[in-house]
Amino acid sequence: MMKLINKAAAGILLSILLTMALTGCQSNGAKSPEAAQSSAENNTPDEQAKGEGASNSTAPASENSEGQSAEAIKEGSMEKEGNVVLKELAFVYNEHTIAISDTANEDQMEQMLGKPDNLKSHTYSAGDGTNMDTLIGFTEKVYTYPGLEIKTISIPEGKQDSIFHIEMTDPKYATVRNIKAGDSLDTLKNAYPEGKLLGDGAPNEEDEFRYEPSNYVDVMSFHIKNAKVESIQIYSLLD
C-alpha cells in the first residue's frame, strides 16, 4: 500500500516538474509566427518614420546646395543669373558697378553718376536717314559726362532702358579689374591675359587691345596709344 502511494506521489511530482520546464521554455524561447507577425506590424510604422526622418533630413541640404549654385550674381541694377560675361563688362564709379545690359532710366543714371552734361534721345524710324531698319521703333538715349559716354536702348513701347555702349576717357572711371585710361599696356595685359592686340602692337603706334568673351556679342576694347590706354569702350552689338 505504501509503495503505491509513493509511486503516485512521484508521478505527481514528475508531472509538476515537466509543467514548470515547459512553461520556462515558452517564456524564454522564440515567439510564435503569429506573435512575430504582430510584432513586425507594430514596429513597421516606427521604422518607416525613422526612414522618412532620414530622408527629410537630407532633403534641405540638397535644396540648399542647389539654391547656392543658382544664386544670382548682381552687378549694377540688373541680376545677371551667373552670367560671367556681363559681370566682367562693367565699370566702377563711387561704389556703383555699371554693366552692359543693366537697366538704367534717367533717374537711376542721375543717382549713380550725377546729372549729365548732355542727354540726347532718338527713336529710330524708316525715314530718319540712319538705315537702321532693325531698330525701327527703338529709342536710343546718349548720356554725356566729362570723360564718359553711356548709350541706352529700349524696345518699342518698352518701359526699361538697357545700357548697350560705354566709352571712358577719364581715369576716374575704372573697369572691374581696375584698368583705367592712362594705365600702361603691360598693366593692361596683366589684368586681362585673355585679351589680345589686334595690330602689331608697336610701342609708339596706335593699336586696339580686345577682350572679347566667347559669345562674340559683348566686347571690351582698349585703344592703345604710346603704350598706354587712351580710351575704353564696352559695348554689345545690336542686331
| CA nearest neighbour of 90 among 210, 233, 212 | 233
pTM of the model: 0.63
Contact 75, 90 (CB under 8 A): yes
Residue 200: predicted pLDDT: 65
Instruction: Give the whole-number percent of the chain exceeding pLDDT 70.
Output: 60
pLDDT tens for each residue of 8-50: 444 444 454 444 444 444 444 444 434 434 443 444 444 443 4
Residue 191: predicted pLDDT: 96
pLDDT tens for each residue of 81-94: 444 556 789 999 99
Count other C-beta atoms under 10 Å from residue 139's C-beta: 17
Contact 238, 135 (CB under 8 A): yes
